[in-house]
Homo-oligomer: A and B are copies of this chain.
Amino acid sequence: MQRPLPVAELIVPRWIVPIEPAGVVLEGHAIAIDAAGAIAAIGPVADLRAACAAGVETALPDHVVTPGLFNLHTHAAMTLLRGLGDDLPLMQWLSTKIWPVEKALLSEEFVAAGTRLACLEMLRGGTTCFADMYFFPAAAGRAAREIGMRAHLGITVIDLPTAGGGDADDYLDRGLALFDRMRNEPLLSFSFAPHAPYTISDATFDRISMLMGQTGLPMLIHLHETEEEIRREIEQHGLRPAMRLERLGLVGPALTAVHAVHLDDREVALFAERGVSIAHCPASNLKLASGIARIARYLDAGINLGIGTDGSASNNRLDMPAEMRLAALLAKGASGRADVFGAHQVLHAATLAGAKACGLDDRIGSIVVGKQADLVAFDLGALDYQPIFDVASHLIFVAGREAVTDVWVAGKPVVQKRQFVSDGARAAEGKGASAIALWQNRTRSQLATQ
Interface residues of chain A, those whose CB is within 8 Å of chain B, are: 80-90, 93, 117, 120-121, 124-125, 283, 285-292, 315-317, 322, 326, 328-330, 332-340, 342-343, 383-390, 393-394, 396-398, 400, 402, 429, 432-433, 436, 439-440, 443-444
Contact = CB atoms under 8 A, between A and B. Distances in A.
A393 B81 CA distance: 13
Contact of A88 (B93, B125, B334, B339): B339
B387 A443 contact: yes
Among A333, A337, A343, the one with the most B-chain Cβ atoms within 10 Å of its Cβ is A333
Nearest to A391: B83
B343 A87 contact: yes
B383 A436 contact: yes
A394 B121 contact: no
A117 B120 CA distance: 33
B338 A87 contact: yes
Tally of this chain's copies: 2
A342 B289 contact: no
A332 B398 contact: no
Contacts of A89: 337-339
A322 to B, nearest CB: 8
B433 A387 contact: no
Contact of A80 (B329, B385, B387): B387
A287 B383 contact: no
Nearest to A345: B87
A429 B383 contact: yes
16 contacts: A82-B398, A86-B343, A86-B396, A86-B397, A88-B338, A89-B338, A93-B338, A121-B383, A287-B338, A291-B333, A291-B336, A292-B333, A316-B398, A386-B433, A389-B443, A402-B402
Contacts of A332: 286-289
A50 to B, nearest CB: 32
B82 A386 contact: yes
Contact of A289 (B121, B333, B402, B433): B333
Contacts of A315: 397
A265 B393 CA distance: 37
A440 B85 CA distance: 46
A290 B333 contact: yes
A96 B289 CA distance: 37
B83 A120 contact: no
A383 B117 contact: yes
Contact of A86 (B288, B390, B439): B390
Nearest to A403: B402
A294 B290 CA distance: 16
Given A121-B384, A386-B117, A398-B317, A285 B333 contact: yes
